[in-house]
Structure 1
Amino acid sequence: MGIYAAASFWRRSWRRGWAWFRRGLPAGIGLAFGVGLSAVFWLPMLLERQYVRQDQWFDGRYDFRGNFVYFFQLFSPRWGFGVSQPGPDDPLGFQLGAAPVALAVLGVLFFWRRAGRLRGEIVVFGAVALITTALGLQIAAPLWEWPVVGTILGFAQFPWRWMSVAIVCISVLAGLVMHRDLVGERTKLTMPLLAVIAVVLISSYPLLVVEISEPVEGPVSLAGLMRFQQSSDEMTGSTAWVKEIPTWSPMADYYISQDKAGGPVKPVETLIDYDNQSYPLDYKSFALGSVAHNSVMEEVYFFNQREDEQRIVFNHFYYPGWKAYLLDGQHGQPVQDVADHVPEDGDLGRMTTPLPQGEGFVLLRFEDTPPRTIGRAISLGTLAILLIIGLWQFTRGRLRRV
């Protein structure tokens, strides 16, 4: 839609000097406000990509090379409801549809002579439909390998996702067969309109068939979640410090064993790895235990009788938003930042925290990163400006009426 709007705007304004600026200023301001409101999302996404392993979303099951669409699938009468799989027998449907494509072609052919100024818009919709369809086919595979172009295309992850744009463009062009310049100004149901509706409905019949799926195994549970993530290759939460993406974990074994025992599956109550091999703990002179835990923090009691510090490992990937503090007591206030809070020297890149000599409490919690703080400030600032403008417009309107 952005390409269409830009093409339409440029076609109408480029010959009028600075008229294009005056016409585009309201839209540009609206676009700027939209970018500002969404900064809380896109700014961390752009600036924190370096902290996340990108290959986990583009390799294995997510490798684009095995997910190009075969040409016959664009017009296949078989509509699937499954999960996409590589190969010609993909259970997911990728149809553009014979009827929509035929109506789009006929609409362009019949309406072209009468289109006048609309020809540019028709060309834009047609070109975008052809290009985005081609991006999902094997012929576009070399483009996906190019450094810059491939990166842009890769945001769709699977080539066939680009066809969602083609479907929108085709639906617009298909409506041209019923343009008022071709069928006249009519408000009642006519035979041509009824015929077009019938063709669309009949061609879409496979979508109207209700598919009955067998119920999945057992109730929803933590153990079931672990099984699903492993079977569907969904363990994709590794940060840049992870050298080898894990396919299973002791926590998953813990959930599965509880489930097999027939009892209630209880979530883990601590992230501490008491048996870590990277930094073995000397329990003859050291004691620790979790006193508070949730998804974004953990408070740990420790008693270290050694003269040097001991380091504990948390079963959580290191990420720059996590901070560690020494507290002035249980559930107390931070009094000292643990500066040497670094990822472990191992394949998993988990968080580690040194504990000094003596007794105390240490708090590990997730805080905002600079990109998130800046993005939130931009979004809140933009929202405040919009509220001020809205209040000003409302007040000015009431004063005028008075």
Structure 2
Amino acid sequence: MKEIFLNLSHYTIVWIILVIVFSFPVISPLLKEGYFPTHDGEWAIVRLAEMHREIKDLQIPPRWADFLNHGHGYPLFLFTYPFPYYLSEIFHLVGFGLVSSIKIVFILSTVSSGIFMFYLGKRINGNLAGFIAAVLYIYAPFRLVDLYVRGSLGESVSLAIFPLLFLATLSLVTNPNLVRVVAVASIFAILITTHNAMALLFTPFYLAFIFVAIKMYSEDWKRYLIRFFLPAILLGLGLSSYFWLPSLLESKFIILSQVPLADKGQHFVNINEFVYSPWNYGLRPSFQIGWMHLVLFIIEIIVLFILRGIVAKKLIYIGLFSIAASVISVFMMNQISALLWEAPLLSSVDFPWRFMTLLTFFMSLGAIYIVEKRIFKILSLVLIILAFFLVQNFARPQMFFERGEEYYETNDDTTTSAGELMPVWVKELPKSRPTEKTMLLGGNANITNTIYNSKMITIEGLAQTQAKIGINTIYFPGWTIKVNNTLVNPDYSNNRGIITFDIPPGPFQIKGTFERTPIRLLADLISLVSIIFVFAVFIKIALKR
């Protein structure tokens, strides 16, 4: 029996099953009925309900959330990462409820992150290395914080993309071809649209890893960079330009460009908090790295020096990279890095402790090479088995409740922390949902018919005199108004920042549409051309076969 098990263990499927089994204590609360309180988890459900409305209205890509902000509209998906909600919408469209769809994405992102980390470790140093790294990755304390305290859907999906992107990068280095260039580009694009801050913080490390990957398997870095990775990065930026380009260039229109979401000085992490900070469900979560991860991190450093000159150079490179990236991540979360957080782009990240998500990945990645010494291999397995039983004490929500689908479908708040995506010209924030979408602000006119959805509105009626019409929708660039097929300039200088305009006497037909600005049009065209190129590559390959 022992020989059979040892033989079976060499098959990848057995290791994958083990990874799934070890992930069960972490995901089991998500398999229960109802939901639980987190910082952002329920807002993710409300956002999914809004994205579903926008897709039903054929607003492609979804950008303007007309139902939110108490029915006054909000540029939610212009600035908020959309990809996790695309995934959730797929499950919702095939019949799952809003809550179940979000929970499925949390579950799949957790399990797949372990599987991708396993494959990454397997590729570099074999099955056992991959398994140890995968379990470390799944059991990282901050992952539990993301799932059951913060409820961050974007960061949870990002944790699955990190190892997948590294895996695709190694594949491109070891066997370069056009398909792998497209794969790297596509995964990079998914990362950009999965979480704004994660993409920004992770990209410099990823660019460094490209050099590490090339050094692991080749010395011809110029060839790889120019022929393969530069095109992959540019294609990835092209595929995702529909999101990041308008988000970057149109951010000047929103409050977040003028008022920071948070005081960074209040969100640095003290060194002792990495060693121990109590588990809690408050706004400042636990930043504890975890005893298992700390022990194995120390072992990683020891192994790196013990095996210098003996172990293959690829393990030395991956070890140096993971340790350096971990140290940099800790540094960036500490007060001593405060000056760096004033740099362009980096200043747009709200909390320095967002590096905890990256630290989770880098510290788990380093475990790939510690199996080179038998004693450390045994110790790692003992720690992992012990953690399997202990993790259940932390992988649990504060409580469960059942609100029902209607609660999320009818919730019309902004879904953001402090209304930070509100246009800068709005002086009086909406407090309640208006009884009517349109209103007469001056003159004498009768509005007889109003039809609207998330991307358009039509108004019909008869004006006895020149009149002023108001639409209870906050103006944002892209909204155009036509009165009797004549384009008019909307006035939004009122305190509420809503769309108003004048109409002449007589019958009137008004059509308002939320259209692409020149920036959005350019960004969408770049993405469209990039998508066509990707499809052309796969069609060409399919025809060859």
TM over 0.5: yes
The residue type paired with residue 224 of structure 2 is R
* Alignment map for 1:66-105 (pairs within 5 Å): 66-76=266-276, 78-80=278-280, 82=281, 84-85=282-283, 90=284, 92-105=285-298
- Larger-Rg structure: 1
Relative to total residues, which structure has the larger helix share, 1 or 2?
A: 2
Report the secondary structure of 2:519's partner residue: helix
Deviation >4 Å, runs of 4+: 9-14, 216-220
* C-alpha distance in structure 2 between counterparts of 1:64 and 1:206, whole Å: 31
Name 1:54's counterpart in structure 2.
256
Name 2:528's counterpart in structure 1.
380
Report the secondary structure of 1:176's partner residue: helix
- The C-alpha deviation readout for 1:198-257, integer Å capped at 9, x for no partner, is 35446645324x33515377884389735x769x85544411322x362x5242xx6xxx
Cα gap change, 1:206 to 1:142, in 2 (>3 Å)? farther
Decide whether the 8 Å contact of 1:304 with 1:359 is kept in 2.
yes
What's the CA shift for 1:321?
0.6
Cα gap change, 1:291 to 1:7, in 2 (>3 Å)? same
Please, which of 36, 43, 66 is the counterpart of residue 245 of structure 2? 43
The residue type paired with residue 294 of structure 2 is V
* C-alpha distance in structure 1 between counterparts of 2:308 and 2:387, whole Å: 24
Name 1:301's counterpart in structure 2.
460
Name 2:384's counterpart in structure 1.
197
Report the secondary structure of 1:54's partner residue: helix
What's the CA shift for 1:159?
1.7
Determine whether 1:129 maps to 2:331: no
Cα gap change, 1:393 to 1:55, in 2 (>3 Å)? closer
Report the secondary structure of 2:522's partner residue: helix
Name 2:156's counterpart in structure 1.
none
Name 2:160's counterpart in structure 1.
none
Name 1:322's counterpart in structure 2.
479
What's the CA shift for 1:191?
4.5
* C-alpha distance in structure 2 between counterparts of 1:381 and 1:169, whole Å: 34
Decide whether the 8 Å contact of 1:106 with 1:177 is kept in 2.
yes
What's the CA shift for 1:346?
2.8
Report the secondary structure of 2:345's partner residue: helix
Name 1:238's counterpart in structure 2.
422
Cα gap change, 1:56 to 1:67, in 2 (>3 Å)? farther
* C-alpha distance in structure 2 between counterparts of 1:224 and 1:377, whole Å: 34
What's the CA shift for 1:104?
1.0
* Alignment map for 1:311-350 (pairs within 5 Å): 311-327=468-484, 335-338=485-488, 340-343=489-492, 345-350=493-498
Decide whether the 8 Å contact of 2:491 with 2:501 is kept in 1.
yes
* C-alpha distance in structure 2 between counterparts of 1:174 and 1:9, whole Å: 17
Decide whether the 8 Å contact of 2:297 with 2:366 is kept in 1.
yes
Higher relative contact order, structure no. (Cα contacts within 8 Å, ≥ 6 residues apart):
2
The residue type paired with residue 206 of structure 1 is N
Q: How many residues align?
A: 336
* C-alpha distance in structure 1 between counterparts of 2:258 and 2:410, whole Å: 22
* C-alpha distance in structure 1 between counterparts of 2:402 and 2:259, whole Å: 26
* C-alpha distance in structure 2 between counterparts of 1:45 and 1:386, whole Å: 24
The residue type paired with residue 21 of structure 1 is K
* C-alpha distance in structure 2 between counterparts of 1:224 and 1:291, whole Å: 21
The residue type paired with residue 475 of structure 2 is Y
Cα gap change, 1:289 to 1:136, in 2 (>3 Å)? farther
**Quick one: percent identity of the two aligned structures?**
20
The residue type paired with residue 75 of structure 1 is V
Decide whether the 8 Å contact of 2:211 with 2:221 is kept in 1.
no
Determine whether 1:287 maps to 2:446: yes
Decide whether the 8 Å contact of 1:134 with 1:140 is kept in 2.
yes
Report the secondary structure of 1:361's partner residue: strand
What's the CA shift for 1:29?
2.2
* C-alpha distance in structure 2 between counterparts of 1:119 and 1:245, whole Å: 58
Decide whether the 8 Å contact of 2:277 with 2:286 is kept in 1.
no
* C-alpha distance in structure 2 between counterparts of 1:216 and 1:138, whole Å: 41
- The C-alpha deviation readout for 1:38-82, integer Å capped at 9, x for no partner, is 1211121122212222158733xx4433333343332336333x3
* C-alpha distance in structure 1 between counterparts of 2:356 and 2:490, whole Å: 46
Determine whether 1:206 maps to 2:393: yes
Report the secondary structure of 1:298's partner residue: strand
Cα gap change, 1:201 to 1:153, in 2 (>3 Å)? farther
The residue type paired with residue 401 of structure 2 is P
* C-alpha distance in structure 1 between counterparts of 2:215 and 2:458, whole Å: 62
Report the secondary structure of 1:221's partner residue: helix
Name 2:437's counterpart in structure 1.
271
Report the secondary structure of 1:337's partner residue: strand
Please, which of 20, 36, 48 is the counterpart of residue 221 of structure 2? 20
Decide whether the 8 Å contact of 1:13 with 1:20 is kept in 2.
no
Report the secondary structure of 2:212's partner residue: helix
The residue type paired with residue 490 of structure 2 is H
The residue type paired with residue 79 of structure 1 is W
Please, which of 154, 158, 170 is the counterpart of residue 351 of structure 2? 158
The residue type paired with residue 352 of structure 1 is T
Cα gap change, 1:94 to 1:57, in 2 (>3 Å)? farther
